[in-house]
Every structure is written in C-alpha cells, then in structure tokens.
Structure 1
Amino acid sequence: MLQDQTSSDQLCPCESGKPFNFCCAPAINGSRPAKSAEALMRSRYSAFFVGAVDYLIDSTAPETRREEDRELLVEQTQITNWTQLTILETQAGQPQDTEGEVCFEAHFESPDGNGILRETSRFRQDSGRWYYVDGDLELIPT
C-alpha cells in the first residue's frame, strides 16, 4: 500500500519528469508492469520513496527473497528519506531482453547520516515481468 505522500499532479520520485500517477504508480499498484529493467529500477526507487513494501517484495526475484525482508523494508522506508536518483548506465534490459543491468546513485538522508547508495542492479525478465535479482552496492557517506 502506498503512503499518502504523492498527489495526482506530483512529479514522480524517480525524476523522470512525468507525474507519479503516469510514471511509476501503475507498476507499483499492479495495473501496468514495468516494461524494462530501468523502468523496474525507477519504480522500485519510487516504492522506497512512498513506502510500498509489498511492491518491493513482489518485484524481487522469488529465489532471492528472504523471510526477514518485510520487516527490514518497513523499517528502512520509515527512517530513510530518498532525495535524488541518477541513472548512470543501463545495459540491455529492454522488452526483448531477458536480463539487464542498471547502475545508479540514490541520495538519502537517515538518522545514521546522509549518503549516496551507488549500485549496479541486475534484473531478469520472466514471462513478460521484470524482477530485481541482486546488486553490487557501495554506500558513500556525504
């Protein structure tokens, strides 16, 4: 469920320049799946932003989900304020592909300090639906 942080005319947290309701919200609410690895990555960033924990779990590859994910994600979405997303590079991950990678930086504020999460995320498409598989991440204090 989405926290009430976005209105119909508010720009999408993923910084696409589009309204949230026409960008990432349809993927998050299940009405339209992400069409590419980058679109899934952007929608997952937006899900962290609005606290859509169910979507974060559902969009993770089933074999990499863990029992403790929900509790950790709930806590993280409550204490972290995501402030900026920058896509650095995308490799494959288009509708005709079965795999893709997206390298990005996500700026955040938290009680433990501010920083940048830099990650190269790996995605897989199964039966027309993209999933987050895993990623290599680096936390950079700012």
Structure 2
Amino acid sequence: MDQLSTGVPVMIHLETHIKQDEDVSDYRLDVDGQLVQMGSNLYLRYLEPNKETGEQTPVTMKFTPDGEVHLTRNAEAELRLHFVSGKRVTARYNTPYGIMPIETVTPYLETSFKEKPFSGNVKIDYLLYANDDLVGNYKIRLQFTA
C-alpha cells in the first residue's frame, strides 16, 4: 500500500444505468486512471471523454474508511455527489448560473478493495433529487485493477 501515496495507474471499467421518467440509458467506459491514498481516504481519478465535443472531464471518486463515497465531476458545471448507504444527503451542482441544491438517496452502496493486485469493486444505486423532485434513478458499477 506504500506506493498508493504516490499514485498507482489503474484500468477502470465503468457502467452506468440511468432512468429518468420513461427514458432509460446505459453508459460504458473503459479508461486508464490513477489511484492515490491520502491519509485514510482513497482517491480514484480519471478523465471521462465526451464523444460529441472531444473534451475530457476530470472525475474523482473519494472513498472514506466509513464506507462513504464522494463523486466529483469538474466540467463547465461542477457536480459533487455524496453517497451514504441508506441515507439522504445534500450534494451540490455548480452551474454557470449559480448553485443548484440537489440531494442523493442511496439505497445500496457496496465497496470492496483487494491488495494483490490492488483492485476495487464499487456498486452504487441512488436516486437524485432537485428541489424535492426526483430527477432520476441511477446505478453505477465500477471496477478497477492496478
């Protein structure tokens, strides 16, 4: 685990299932990333490509020792989601027009990590709310291996 303090390259496989009203979409991504340990937290960082614009969005997932997960996407609008198993928590969406208050409800959250080779498996099912209105139902499945 000592090399984690300087960062370890990892291969990431991400699948996202999104249901908004009657629309359902699936997204898959295989990308290189980096895993870093800072204090007792693990940080997974990668660049998410946008096929339409060719730009890349920096994404960071923070894993805390108590099982919480924080997801940050730093695009034109910065999205900060916070997942706590079985709880409704406040998140933040910074748009060019101001901050939009949002909340996540996470009925299912599972993270598991192995040391040799260093790898991880993350499963998050969450509901996203804006102004108490349900925006969508999301499922994230992410695996990474050093």
- In the superposition, the TM-score normalised over structure 1's length comes to 0.35
Bigger share in helix:
1
Structure with greater strand percent? 2
Give TM-score, length-normalised by structure 2: 0.34
Q: From the CA coordinates, give the structure whose radius of gyration is larger.
A: 2
